[in-house]
Amino acid sequence: MENIIQKIKDLNIGKVEESISIAKHTTYRVGGTALGLVFPRNVACLVKLIRFLQLENISYKVIGNGSNLLFSDDFYDGILIQLSELDSIEFFGRNKVRVGAGYSLIKLCVMAAKKGYTGLEFASGIPGSVGGSVFMNAGAYKSDMGYVVERVKVLTPDLKIIYLENKEMNFHYRTSFLQRHPNYICLEVILQLHKGRRDAIEEVMRERRQRRIDSQPLEYPSAGSVFRNPEGNFAGKLIEDVGLKGKRIGGAMISEKHANFIVNYDHATASDIKQLIDLAHEKVFKQYGISMKVEQEFVNWK
């Protein structure tokens, strides 16, 4: 293990941390340890790292801000990659913005609003990276990234850099080309926004922020909505209707505020959370015949 980490450090590609706690890098605040965590300085460094990992046959995972992931409690025998150094941003042309995959989505929304650009208000409370939001096609308030993304710069599995246009990204409800092809890595995004009134944009964002505070359990670690809303229904309502609101397993709880959130309220393990997800899925299917689709990604589960 030390030999691999030292070899990565010798590549001189950015900050390298050894034997890290996954819990510190995911919003659920759960998970085991990982072999290492690397913060590549730029795209060239990322390519150099992945080429090395592929040659050494070492597993790796790009984690963004860790806001939609549930790692198991087991040791992850691989390297986690965080793209927080890919954080460039440029407003240009006719209401366009070019932004690195590691840039904070909330920070982007605030900056766009300050410049009087509308189109991102729906995302102003989504706590992920730009790359992660494109991967998941994150959305809220009947909008999502698919409405504003013009083009995505990606790294292919054979380490070529290509551009995918909006149609090629195949955005649909909480999914995209990248989710179905996880070995492609989002590097940079070009968004097409529109000019609006700064005061009106910021007022919408304030109202929605308050709505989130009132309706979501933001005081506890979570990963946002657990299940996608089934067509014509709401996952939270279904979970509440089968009597699971407030249900606890270990230190995890189905939120009493919003039943489509599972929170780490008291030193939960990843297994506690996974058991609640499975229980909610099972009970809703048994009572209503609806197989709810999990919005979050399970990593390193047997």
Q: What is the pLDDT of residues 236-265, one digit of tens each?
A: 999 999 999 999 999 999 999 999 999 999
Q: Is the dihedral of CA 96, 202, 85, 1 positive or negative?
A: negative
Predicted TM-score of the model (pTM): 0.93
Residue 295 known to be catalytic: yes
Q: Are 98 and 57 in contact (CB under 8 A)?
A: no
Residue 225 known to be catalytic: yes
**pLDDT, mean of residues 190-199:** 97
Catalytic hit among 72, 129, 225, 255: 225
Q: Are 217 and 211 in contact (CB under 8 A)?
A: no
pLDDT value at residue 12: 98
Q: Are 211 and 220 in contact (CB under 8 A)?
A: no
* The Cα angle at residue 140 between residues 286 and 106, in degrees rounded to 5: 130
Instruction: Give the tens place of pLDDT for each residue, 27-41.
Output: 999 999 999 999 999
**Cβ-based neighbour number of residue 57 at 10 Å:** 6
Task: Report how far residue 271's alpha carbon sits from residue 277's, in angstroms, rounded to the nearest whole number.
Answer: 10
Backbone angles phi, psi at 275, to 5 degrees: -60, -40
Backbone angles phi, psi at 132, to 5 degrees: -65, -35
pLDDT value at residue 127: 87
Instruction: Give the tens place of pLDDT for each residue, 39-88.
Output: 999 999 999 999 999 999 999 999 988 999 999 999 999 999 999 999 99
pLDDT value at residue 2: 63
Angle between helices 105-114 and 198-215 (to 10 degrees): 150
Location of structure tokens 């979570």: 222
Task: Report how far residue 92's alpha carbon sits from residue 74's, in angstroms, rounded to the nearest whole number.
Answer: 45
Q: Are 177 and 168 in contact (CB under 8 A)?
A: yes
Instruction: Give the tens place of pLDDT for each residue, 147-172.
Output: 999 999 999 999 999 999 999 999 99
Residue 256 known to be catalytic: no
Task: Report how far residue 280's alpha carbon sits from residue 89's, in angstroms, rounded to the nearest whole number.
Answer: 40
Catalytic hit among 174, 176, 188, 255: 174
Q: Helix, strand or coil for residue 118?
A: strand
Instruction: Give the tens place of pLDDT for each residue, 195-214.
Output: 999 999 999 999 998 998 99
| Domains of the chain by start residue, with CATH | 2-81 (3.30.43.10), 89-214 (3.30.465.10), 217-299 (3.90.78.10)
Instruction: Give the tens place of pLDDT for each residue, 80-117.
Output: 999 999 999 999 999 999 999 999 999 999 999 999 99
Which residues 6+ apart lie within 8 Å of 147 measured at CB?
119
Residues present in the chain in total: 302
Closest listed residue to residue 38, CA positions, set 107, 104, 86, 88 = 86
pLDDT over threshold 70, residue 1? no
Q: Where are the alpha helices (DSSP H) in 30-85?
A: 43-55
Catalytic hit among 67, 129, 133, 295: 295
